[in-house]
Amino acid sequence: MTSSSGPILNDPLISCLCVTRNRVPMLKRAVSCFQNQTYPNRELVVIYEADDPETREYLASIDSPIIRPLEVRTSPKLALGALRNISIEFSRGHYLAQWDDDDWHGPERLAEQMTAIQQSERPVCVLMRWIIFDELTKMAYLSATRAWEGSILAAREALPKYPELSKGEDTVVIERLLSERKLTGLDKSHLYIYTYHGSNTWERSHWEQKILPYSQPLSIESQMQVQRVLEIEGGQGESAP
């Protein structure tokens, strides 16, 4: 099968790209989610800054050839978009997946998105809905329908450079890919839980004005299931509703 970006190999290497800073407990969950992926041919690139010793120590304790940490300088201070571009340069995959450190990634995320790319013959896949969880209120919601930036999986040659912005850098990329008609959308919300924890890139007002008003609260049973998934490191043995 071919795509607009060229032939798709069987199980091509996917590089999951994670930028992190000073939140090892969340990073541990993201790493565990990566380790639990059913898609076989993958690597995790973790970018952190030189003044983050706890992250350095944690990553040094992981004995895995497919988890590849990279320490970067702290001066001059690099914007999030610049750090994402460094992770792309350091990665080896034919496909690239954004892998935010503070979210939960379901075990089938990479496999399902790669299948969607192969079936659509477009080089990029994003999730159109995902579950969102407010750690401050312990409430879980089903998101509105849109192309969610954090869920992007893209062929390397199709992914433009991120603008060197501290926030909103991935929205610029998504908007360009949409305009170029390179996206296919996958409506499987159980593959991703986006969390608001108080130290996200976007402030609380963005959450309350741009996300919550367009989201649907889950049932009490589903909310409890989401909390269980997030409490179990990597969600082992549980799946999102």
SS3 126: strand
Token couple for 199: 């130290």
Tell which phi-psi region holds residue 111, choosing left (phi > 0), alpha (psi between -120 and 50) or beta.
Answer: alpha
How far apart, in whole angstroms, are the C-alpha atoms of residue 166 and residue 179? Answer: 23
The residue extents of the domains of the chain are: 2-127+147-186
Task: Give every CB contact of residue 101 below 8 A, 6+ residues apart in sequence.
Answer: 18, 19, 20, 23, 26, 27, 30
Assigned CATH topology for domain 2-127+147-186: Spore Coat Polysaccharide Biosynthesis Protein SpsA; Chain A (3.90.550)
Taking 60 as the threshold, does the pLDDT of residue 214 lie above it? yes
Q: Look at residue 145 and tell me whether its pLDDT is greater than 70.
A: yes
d(CA 173, CA 186): 18
Residue type, 63: D
Give 74 or 235, the one with higher predicted confidence. Answer: 74
pLDDT of residue 212: 76
pLDDT, one tens digit per residue, over 33-65 is 999 999 999 999 999 999 999 999 999 999 999
What is the rounded average pLDDT for all residues in the chain?
89
pLDDT of the residue at 211: 73
Q: With 80 as the cut, is the pLDDT of residue 205 above it?
A: no
CA 219, 224, 229, 232: dihedral to nearest 10 degrees? Answer: 180
